Structure 1
Amino acid sequence: MEHSPAYRDARRHVERKIGFAIHLAVYLLVNTGLALVNVLATPDRIWAVWPLFGWGIGLLFHGIAVFLHAPGAAWKERMIENELKKQKKQ
């Protein structure tokens, strides 16, 4: 069964949102575990903030790509459609 381009785009965006949600869940679980290990094993030395910070930067960029990229993609599509209309008029 052939789906429309709009359906394929919507499906792709939903899959990206699900991917981000999984990434966020893994981030929270792993970093909670690291924080517990840190507090229980070496409470005098706090090291769990470093993976939290580093991975957090990656998670931030993942979120930006998922949630802020889509409006840009729609804007790009509108520009392409406008160019096609201009070419048809010539």
Structure 2
Amino acid sequence: METNYTEEERYFRAQKRVEEIKKFYEHLTVYVLVNPIVIVVNLMTSPGYLYFIWSLLGWGMAVVLHGLKVFNFAPFFDKDWENKKISEFMENERQSKNTWE
């Protein structure tokens, strides 16, 4: 199923894609800049309890998932999965509508 997009539609799709990539790099930059501060504050205030690990792991997983989504490398919940689920829900709705009639 190939769609013929106009030049303007292709431009807006490309613009949206660039914006998504830009937001990912902003997210990554904040992660890289803030976590060293969290580590230093942790080590200076309570070196016996290394709570910065939770920030690194939790936020790190969010950055990785964001990157997978932006660069279309998600091994799950990709476009094929979305289309399959949409078709499934539409079929279920169509069947339930037919049983009521």
The two structures have a TM-score, normalised by structure 1, of 0.69
Instruction: Give the deviation of 1:34 after TM superposition.
Output: 0.5
Query: Could you tell me which of 60, 63, 66 is aligned with 1:56?
Result: 60
Structure 1 segments of 4 or more deviating over 2 A?
none
CA distance in 1, matches of 2:34, 2:52: 11
What letter is aligned with 1:7? Answer: Y
Of 12, 20, 28, 1:24 maps to 28
Corresponding residue of 1:11: 15
Q: Which runs of 5+ in 1 are unaligned?
A: 74-90
Question: Which AA in structure 1 matches 2:45?
Answer: A
Unaligned runs of 5+ in 2: 1-6, 80-101
Aligned-pair identity (%) = 35
Residue 62 of structure 1 aligns to which amino acid in structure 2?
Answer: H
When normalised by structure 2's length, the TM-score is 0.62
Task: Give the structure with the larger helix fraction.
Answer: 1
Higher relative CO (Cα under 8 Å, sequence separation at least 6) belongs to 1
Distance (whole Å) between structure 1 residues aligned to residue 10 and residue 40 of structure 2: 45
Instruction: Give the Cα–Cα distance (whole angstroms) in 2 for the partners of residues 32 and 17 of structure 1.
Output: 24
Cα displacement (A) at 1:31: 1.0
Q: Find the counterpart in structure 1 of residue 4 from structure 2.
A: none
